[in-house]
């Protein structure tokens, strides 16, 4: 009897499994009513104050001299880095190492994301496993890398700008560096 029940359950589930997640979604509009949870909620709570870049600078964040973009994947934006947080070898969900902005046509910066970053050597010396912050696993960027940095773990959180590729991926096709002026 158990075998028959499992076969029926599997047969009924197979079309849904093969069709993918869209087959079980009822209404995409319902997602707008769901409050952010986990790391996204923490980021919204702790980093919203940086919507004005001057607030980030008052807290020790310094704008890096470029806007990070990829020819096929969109962009990341302009990163403001906090050297003290980058050097401490620790991770705190309420204190991201980098704040990320998108340059706007009027010359202002729009807060779009945060990035957590810890150098692999520091992290690995004190921990037995790669970093996970509020359930989110970090990406290891080995060396050599395009930044010329030692190997590091990083995690973007697109809490302030929708990313069609996902909340925690590096590149956002909706972000552009088109309005970045390195002279400013």
Residue 30, pLDDT > 90, answer: no
Mean pLDDT for the stretch of residues 43-49: 97
Percent of the chain with pLDDT over 70: 80
Distance (Å, rounded) from C-alpha 179 to C-alpha 184?
11
Tell me the average pLDDT across 53-79. 93
Give pLDDT, residue 33. 60
What pLDDT does 132 receive?
A: 96
Domain range list for the chain: 30-157
> pTM of the full predicted structure?
0.80
With cut-offs at 50, 70 and 90, classify the pLDDT of residue 72.
confident
pLDDT tens-digit readout, 135-172: 999 999 999 988 899 999 999 999 999 999 999 999 99
Determine the average pLDDT of the residues in 10-21: 36
Average pLDDT, the chain: 84
pLDDT tens, position by position, 99-137: 999 999 999 999 999 999 999 999 999 999 999 999 999
- Per-residue model confidence (pLDDT) at position 34: 61
């Amino acid at each position: 009897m158990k075998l028959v029940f499992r076969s029926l359950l599997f047969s009924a589930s197979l079309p849904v499994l093969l069709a993918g997640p869209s087959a079980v979604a009822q209404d995409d509009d319902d997602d707008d009513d769901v409050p952010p949870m986990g790391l996204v909620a923490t980021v919204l709570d702790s980093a919203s104050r940086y919507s004005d870049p001057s607030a980030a600078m008052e807290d020790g964040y310094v704008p890096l001299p470029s806007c990070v973009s990829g020819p096929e994947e969109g962009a990341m934006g302009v990163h403001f880095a906090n050297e003290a947080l980058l050097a401490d070898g620790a991770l705190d969900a309420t204190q991201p190492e980098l704040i990320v902005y998108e340059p706007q046509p009027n010359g202002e910066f729009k807060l779009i994301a945060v990035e957590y970053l810890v150098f692999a050597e520091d992290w690995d010396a004190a921990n037995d496993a790669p970093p996970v912050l509020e359930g989110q696993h970090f990406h290891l960027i080995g060396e050599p890398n395009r930044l010329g940095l030692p190997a590091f773990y990083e995690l973007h959180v697109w809490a302030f700008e929708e990313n069609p590729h996902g909340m925690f991926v590096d590149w956002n096709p909706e972000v552009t560096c088109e309005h970045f002026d390195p002279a400013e």
